[in-house]
Amino acid sequence: MRQPLLVVLGLIALVLGSCDYNFEPLQENDQFFYSMYGVLNTSQDIQWIRVTPIRETLFLDDDEIDVRVTLTKNSTGQTVELQDSLFDFYARVGDIVSVHNFYTDFPIEFGEEYTIRAERSDGMVSSATTRIPSRIDAPTFSFNSNTLGGIIQGNIQGQIVVADVDYYYVVIDEEGIPLRGKLRVSQIERERLVVQENGDYKITVSDRNYIAGEFGVSQSAVTLDSAEIFIAISGDDWPEFNSQSSEESALPQSATNVMNGTGLVLGVSSITLPFEACYDSNNMLIPCTPKNSNRKVKLSLEK
């Protein structure tokens, strides 16, 4: 199955000249066999793992690669084989490159440990093991319609790696023309998230001015159609990406949990909530019922 996808892949590219590690991904090697990237998410119906052989050719021209990819639930030993799906993206203007994303509908469960194996026909294996965090308890949200925001408060076991609000908006431009669209605002990037040592967290959402600034209009020109809150947590193995280039991320000495390979395969739990306040019969603020969502969580290096 070939599908077009406009992505910039943080795969193996260059080895820094100052690096003492003698691994050269564009030459044959007998230590590292596959690069693997992906996130196992309890909220997704389909799990996706990108697998690339580490060999002389950086990008693959053929439709098939020599690999069998499996997912194992370690507590039971239950194993399934993932199916291959070929995606195309533009590496440079006019250059279309193919990557292999393997998928399965095997259900991912809270608190379980899973292993992804990529095995070559000669028996060489790259593998990664990750544990899925516990279920996220729905937080409360005190919504303020005037500011398009409010306070999200809850408690988590793990670390919050995604805290987004997706806004579906109408903006009236200078000529009075209504423009409809969607804007995803990271509350982590806007430094709105505060987490205490006991896991209590607070997210102060106030994005009307931010949305107006994105379009160079006044706050009164922004109307909200709808919105939703998305929060994802991971274990302590989620790395810091900010200081890593995509080339550095593909090197074995960079953050990786892939044995005999490069890359990252991590587990998350996620929750999607309506952008509204919910109350009980006594008018007390309570958590809203989560929404069904199949949103994918990407590593920062997956564009």
Last residue of a domain, one of 234, 253, 286: 234
Statement to judge: residues 248 and 103 lie in one domain: yes
Find, among 130, 91, 128, the residue nearest to 9 by Cα: 91
Confidence of residue 232 (pLDDT cuts 50, 70, 90): very high
Statement to judge: residues 127 and 185 lie in one domain: no
Statement to judge: residues 22 and 123 lie in one domain: yes
Q: Is the pLDDT of residue 27 over 70?
A: no
Length of the chain: 303
DSSP-assigned states of every residue in 177-201 = -EEEEEEEEETTTTT-EEE-TTSEE
Whether 290 is covered by a domain: the verdict is: no
Last residue of a domain, one of 209, 234, 259: 234
Compute the distance between CA of residue 44 and CA of residue 150 in angstroms, rounded to an integer. Answer: 28
Statement to judge: residues 257 and 212 lie in one domain: no
- At 160-175, the pLDDT tens digits run 999 999 999 888 877 8
Whether 111 is covered by a domain: the verdict is: yes
Mean pLDDT estimate for the chain: 82
Percent of the chain with pLDDT over 90: 55
Whether 288 is covered by a domain: the verdict is: no
What tokens does 189 get?
Answer: 């990037």
Q: What pLDDT score was predicted for residue 7?
A: 34
Statement to judge: residues 119 and 178 lie in one domain: no
Whether 108 is covered by a domain: the verdict is: yes
Statement to judge: residues 14 and 112 lie in one domain: yes
Q: Is pTM beyond 0.85 here?
A: no
Statement to judge: residues 154 and 118 lie in one domain: no
Q: Which domain holds residue 151?
A: 140-234
Beta-strand relationship, 95-104 and 47-53: antiparallel
Statement to judge: residues 175 and 222 lie in one domain: yes
For residues 187 and 130, is the Cβ–Cβ distance under 8 A?
Answer: no
Compute the distance between CA of residue 123 and CA of residue 219 in angstroms, rounded to an integer. Answer: 61
Whether 295 is covered by a domain: the verdict is: no
Q: Which of 34-38, 62-66, 152-156, 160-164 has the lowest mean pLDDT?
A: 62-66
Whether 81 is covered by a domain: the verdict is: yes
Q: What pLDDT score was predicted for residue 258?
A: 94
Q: How many CA atoms lie within 13 A of 3 on its CB side?
A: 8
Statement to judge: residues 31 and 121 lie in one domain: yes
Whether 217 is covered by a domain: the verdict is: yes
Statement to judge: residues 71 and 203 lie in one domain: no
Q: Is the pLDDT of residue 148 over 90?
A: no
As a whole number of Å, the end-to-end CA separation of the chain is: 21
Q: Which of 98-107, 199-208, 222-231, 253-262 has the lowest mean pLDDT?
A: 253-262
Statement to judge: residues 147 and 61 lie in one domain: no
Q: Which of 54-58, 139-143, 218-222 has the lowest mean pLDDT?
A: 54-58
Domain count, the chain: 2
- Local structure of 274: helix, strand or coil: strand
Confidence of residue 302 (pLDDT cuts 50, 70, 90): low
Whether 299 is covered by a domain: the verdict is: no
Statement to judge: residues 149 and 99 lie in one domain: no
Largest distance between two CA atoms of the chain: 68
